């Protein structure tokens, strides 16, 4: 295992057990069996390391599904594509929520993290924007109603997945992810009016 991989593995373990706000670079270095200086040879700061953990040790299906959205517009059934997004988002938020939640208890750390994400063009807004762009393209192709609001739909879908993950940390979800996805998509795509 390379030094970089050791650092990411150790960081993932420390962040999962202590939360991001309480995971120090000193503790991560100790868990990796390295000096703190060794971390900074591979990562410029804790945010850079956290993004590597999410990208390489966290659930990666959501990024992959979102990256393929532009090519899938007009090709695959919309419901099939959205089901894949919802299932990947459920996994991402269920695994990532505990790691990131501690950020919100430290206003200064949250502000620094937000700035670092903006510098990298990353952040929690990215999945919703990618999904909204896909939905807009499907709408232009005539596969979604012209009154459909792509950005609102993207926020509703991903927000429902995040809410499910949040509540699941208080009590286990009784509805299987596949059933949740079906119910969510039925409600969104067929509407609530009679």
| pLDDT one-digit tens code per residue, 113-139 | 788 778 877 778 889 999 999 999 999
Q: What is the pLDDT of residue 184?
A: 94
Q: Are residues 44 and 108 both part of a single domain?
A: no
Q: What is the pLDDT of residue 16?
A: 80
Q: Are residues 71 and 45 both part of a single domain?
A: no
Domain with 22 in it: what CATH number?
Answer: 1.10.10.60
Structure tokens at 76: 């695959």
Q: Are residues 127 and 166 both part of a single domain?
A: yes
Q: What is the pLDDT of residue 73?
A: 94
Q: Are residues 133 and 175 both part of a single domain?
A: yes
Q: Could you tell me what percent of the chain has a pLDDT over 70?
A: 95
Q: Are residues 98 and 176 both part of a single domain?
A: yes
Q: Under a CB-based contact definition with an 8 Å cutoff, are residues 48 and 116 in contact?
A: yes
Domain with 64 in it: what CATH number?
Answer: 1.10.357
Q: Are residues 68 and 91 both part of a single domain?
A: yes
Q: Are residues 77 and 46 both part of a single domain?
A: no
Structural domains of the chain, count: 2
Q: Could you tell me what percent of the chain has a pLDDT over 90?
A: 46
Q: What is the pLDDT of residue 57?
A: 66
Q: What is the DSSP string of the chain?
A: --HHHHHHHHHHHHHHHH-TTT--HHHHHHHHTS-HHHHHHH-SSHHHHHHHHHHHTS--HHHHHHHHHHHHTTTS-HHHHHHHHHHHHHHHHHHHHHHHHGGGG-HHHHHHHHHHHHHHT-STHHHHHHHHHHHHHHHHTTSS-TT--HHHHHHHHHHHHHHHHHHHTTS---S-HHHHHHHHHHHHHH-S--
Q: Are residues 91 and 170 both part of a single domain?
A: yes
What average pLDDT does this structure show over 49-65?
75
pLDDT band at 52 (very low <50, low <70, confident <90, very high): confident
Average pLDDT, whole number, for the chain? 86
What average pLDDT does this structure show over 68-83?
95
Q: Are residues 87 and 101 both part of a single domain?
A: yes
Q: What is the pLDDT of residue 98?
A: 73
Q: Which of 75 and 54 is assigned the larger pLDDT?
A: 75
Enclosing domain of residue 44? 3-53
Q: Are residues 17 and 72 both part of a single domain?
A: no
What average pLDDT does this structure show over 15-28?
83
Structure tokens at 148: 């459909």
pLDDT at 193 over 60: no
Q: What is the pLDDT of residue 140?
A: 94
CA dist., res. 192 & res. 92, Å (int): 27
Q: Are residues 74 and 147 both part of a single domain?
A: yes
Q: Are residues 178 and 130 both part of a single domain?
A: yes
CA dist., res. 67 & res. 150, Å (int): 17
For 156-165, how does the pLDDT look when each residue is reduced to its tens digit (9 = 90+)? 999 999 999 9
């Amino acid at each position: 295992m390379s030094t970089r991989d050791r650092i990411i593995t150790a960081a993932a373990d420390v962040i999962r057990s202590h939360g991001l706000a309480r995971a120090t670079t000193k503790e991560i270095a100790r868990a990796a069996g390295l000096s703190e200086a060794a971390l900074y040879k591979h990562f410029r700061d804790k945010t850079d390391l956290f993004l590597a953990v999410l990208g390489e040790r966290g659930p990666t299906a959501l990024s992959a599904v979102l990256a393929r959205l532009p090519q899938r517009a007009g090709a695959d059934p919309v419901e099939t594509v959205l089901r894949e997004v919802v299932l990947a988002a459920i996994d991402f938020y269920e695994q990532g929520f505990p790691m990131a939640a501690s950020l919100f208890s430290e206003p200064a750390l949250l502000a620094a993290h937000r700035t670092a994400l903006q510098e990298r063009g990353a952040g929690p807004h990215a999945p919703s924007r990618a999904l909204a762009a896909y939905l807009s393209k499907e709408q232009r192709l005539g596969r979604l109603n012209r009154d459909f609001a792509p950005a609102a739909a993207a926020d509703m879908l991903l927000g429902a997945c995040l809410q499910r993950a949040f509540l699941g940390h208080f009590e286990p979800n009784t509805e299987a992810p596949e059933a949740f996805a079906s119910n969510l998509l039925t409600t969104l795509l067929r509407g609530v009016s009679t």
